[in-house]
Every structure is written in C-alpha cells, then in structure tokens.
C-alpha cells in the first residue's frame, strides 16, 4: 500500500508585508477572502496526522498575517504534528512568540535577505532587515529550535563571509543558505539573480571553511542553484511521494509551483478528504512513480534517486511538464539551461548591483 505523506506544507495565506523579488509563491495568488477558516485547518491537521504525516511546515506569504496563527499551531500540535514556522518575522512580538511556543511551536525559521541593510531591504521591497536582527536575540530567549534562512543570489553571494559572520552573532542552531531557484517571481527576475560560475565556486569554498570552523555550534546547509547542477534534485522527494502542500484556499498541490502546469486541476480540502486526495486524486497520480517518464529517465540508473527532477522546471523551460528536467546534463533539452548559464557568465550579463531597484519585478500582495 502507498505510504502516507511525511509532511504537510501549510501555505496559510498569500498576504505578506515583504515583496521579495524571488518569492516562490505563484504569480496568481489566493485572495484573503478565499482563505480556509481556523476550523477547516484544524480538521486538515487531524486528517494529516491520521495519514501518518510527522511535520507541519507553516508558511505563506507571511503566516503571522493570520490573526488565528496561535490556534492553528495548537490545532496542528494537537494532531501530533511537529510544528515549524517559516517567517519573515514581521508581525512577531515577544508576547506573540510566547503564545506560539505555549501552543506548541517547536522550530522557527527566520528569513534574511543578506547582511547589508540597504541591499536586503531592496530585495525584500520593504524595510525589514534591522527588525529581523532585533528579533533573533528575542527568539533565542525561548526554548525552540532556531534556523536562519538566508536566500542567496548574484547580488549578495559575494557577501557570503560577512553574511555567515552576521548569522554567527545571532547564534541560531542552523543556517540554511539557499540559492534562489527559478519559479514564480524568481523566474521573472532571473537575469539579475542567477549567479556566475565563479561566484558559485567561491561560495562553496567559503561554506566548506565555515562548516569546519562552526562544527558543533551551528549547522550549515547549503543549497546550490539547480541551473549549475549536473543532475536534477529529487524535487519534493518525488511527486506525490513525501509531501502535500495546501494553499491558502484549500487546494492541495504536490508542490509549490504545480499550478503552472497546464491542464492540472487540484482537489480542495473543502470537498475531499486529505487521504482521498493523496491516494486517488488525478493531480497526485499524474507524475507519481515511473510510468510517465520519457527517455533518458525511464532507463536511467538515477531515476530512483531524483525521480526525473522537477516537473515545473521542465514545463517552464521546455514547455512540456513530462520532459526530463533540463537542468540534468543527460536531458535532451539541457541546451536551454546551458544557454542561460552561458549568458550570465558572459560580459553582456546585467551589472552586479542593479540601479536602485529599477529593474526588479516585485511580488505584490494578493488583491
């Protein structure tokens, strides 16, 4: 029998005080009026717990924009789930964090946009960096796991040593340095965000040295950009294998970006049980297993490791969601990625610091 999902990604709202130029939310966002109620979520968490899910990752938009976040945490914890909050920190006060921890919050991931305030605020489209720095000290006073999420790209990758030194002073348990991946809003801004090969190689050396130096004090996870990888990532741990994402309006998706794939329809927790959606729905079965795979995936030794890579990336780059992920060096359309990478590494690439935000396409708030 098909095992249940390991974790639930609860995209509680698409509302957000930040407007990051690489936001992974879909271009078509869910409106506040369409959001699930507190009771809907509580039922979904119960269903997820019964299906065998272990973790609930609360994300958005900005989860703190939900006034009922404390109740949602309590509901998920009551269903036996491990509660992780992924946040920009805007809207968090000491009092509110105390209530969240009391309700069962166990891990907080605070995002940063770099170490230089001016650039960080430009990337976020909101003045937020200074406030985040203050929050980190406050978070450490609570008994919960603390991760700093640092999103890196062409504009801030050269600051990496300074960034790591800044985070070290905030003393989290873990630092996740994630290169931007190119979906949603990030794809709109790709020319200014994709790093050069030289930047990337330097960053890898910087991370290796920091990992050694900080071992036992702060764990560092480093995620390289797909476009420079030799083989694709096992996106979401394989389609419909490990994760379910519930969007603010209750649609259940196999991944954040699946809405871009033409012809896909997503069932809603308002109408169907989570178990039925996981086991039976067309969306979850679409790319589950190996039957959909084209060559070279179908006969590839790595198909059980990377599951053919990312379906959304295949769609966005080749126009065909069932193609081999073109970031794979074995993909028939790997040339598409090679062209983009060649352009970024040529002298025609956009300058390192774009003139005062003029070129950015910011993520707006849902209307």
Partner 1 sequence: MLPETTSQPRLAAGCRWAEAIGAERMLLFPEGAIRLQGTGREILERCDGVRTVQQIVEELQTLYSAGDPAQIQAEVVGFLEKLQQKRIVDF
CA separation (Å) from 343 to 197, 228, 299?
11, 13, 32
The reply to whether 219 sits near partner 1 by the rule CB under 8 A is: yes
Cis peptide before 61, with omega less than 30 degrees from 0? Answer: yes
- Cα–Cα distance list, 3 to 6, 79, 107, 309 (Å): 9, 19, 25, 21
Region of 33-41, 125-133, 145-153, 269-277 interacting with partner 1 (CB under 8 A): 145-153
Least separation in angstroms between CB 179 and partner 1: 18
Interface pick for partner 1 out of 14, 15, 43, 107 (rule CB under 8 A): 107
**Structure-token match 């419909």, residue found:** 240
Comparing CA positions, the residue from 260, 228, 220 lying closest to residue 153 is 228
- Helix, strand, coil percentages, rounded to 5, for the chain: 40, 15, 45
Binding flag, residue 68, partner 1 (CB under 8 A): no
x-marked contacts with partner 1 along 168-207 as a string, rule CB under 8 A:
-----xx---------------------------------
Q: How far is Cα 259 from Cα 315, in angstroms, rounded to an integer?
A: 11
141 is a site residue for partner 1 (CB under 8 A): no
Among 147, 149, 206, 251, binds partner 1 (CB under 8 A): 147
Residues within window 79-98 making contact with partner 1, judged by CB under 8 A: 80, 82, 84
Of 83 and 315, CB closest to partner 1: 83
Q: Identify the burial level of 236 via C-beta atoms within 10 angstroms of its C-beta, where 0-12 means exposed, 13-18 middle and 19 or more buried.
A: buried
Q: Which helix (H) or strand (E) holds 34?
A: none
Which of 143, 169, 212, 367 binds partner 1 (CB under 8 A)? It is: 143
Is position 216 an interface residue for partner 1 (rule: CB under 8 A)? Answer: yes
**Is residue 242 within the footprint of partner 1 (CB under 8 A)?**
no
Q: Which chain residues interact with partner 1 by CB under 8 A?
A: 6, 54-55, 80, 82, 84, 106-107, 143-147, 173-174, 215-216, 219
């Amino acid at each position: 029998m098909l095992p249940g999902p390991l974790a639930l990604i609860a995209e509680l709202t698409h509302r957000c005080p930040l407007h990051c130029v690489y936001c992974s939310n879909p271009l078509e966002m869910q409106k506040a009026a369409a959001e699930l109620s507190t009771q809907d979520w509580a039922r979904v968490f119960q269903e997820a717990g019964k299906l065998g899910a272990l973790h609930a990752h609360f994300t958005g938009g900005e989860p703190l924009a939900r006034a009922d976040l404390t109740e949602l945490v309590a509901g998920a914890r009551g269903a036996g789930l491990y509660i992780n909050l992924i946040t920009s920190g805007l809207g968090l006060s000491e009092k509110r964090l105390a209530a969240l921890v009391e309700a069962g919050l166990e891990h907080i991931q605070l995002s940063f946009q770099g170490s230089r305030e001016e650039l960080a605020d430009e990337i976020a489209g909101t003045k937020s960096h200074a406030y985040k720095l203050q929050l980190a000290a406050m978070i450490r006073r609570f008994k919960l796991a603390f991760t700093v999420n640092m999103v890196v790209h062409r504009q801030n990758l050269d600051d990496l040593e300074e960034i790591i030194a800044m985070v070290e002073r905030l003393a989290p348990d873990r630092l996740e340095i994630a290169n931007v991946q190119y979906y949603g809003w990030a794809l709109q801004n790709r020319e200014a965000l994709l790093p050069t090969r030289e930047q990337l190689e330097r960053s890898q050396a910087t991370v290796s040295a920091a990992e050694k130096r900080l071992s036992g004090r702060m764990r560092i996870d480093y995620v390289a950009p797909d476009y420079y990888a030799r083989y694709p990532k096992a996106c979401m741990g394989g389609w419909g294998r490990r994760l379910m994402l519930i969007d603010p309006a209750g649609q259940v998706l196999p991944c954040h970006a699946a809405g871009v794939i033409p012809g896909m329809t997503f069932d809603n927790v308002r109408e169907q049980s989570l178990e039925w959606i996981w086991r039976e729905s067309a969306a979850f079965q679409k790319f589950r297993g190996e039957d959909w795979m084209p060559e070279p995936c179908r006969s590839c030794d790595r198909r059980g490791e990377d599951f053919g890579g990312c379906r959304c990336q295949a769609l966005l780059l080749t126009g065909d969601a069932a193609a081999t992920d073109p970031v794979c060096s074995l993909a028939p359309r790997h040339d598409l990625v090679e062209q983009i990478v060649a352009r970024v590494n040529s002298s025609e690439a956009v300058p390192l610091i774009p003139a005062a935000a003029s070129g950015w396409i910011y993520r707006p708030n849902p209307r």
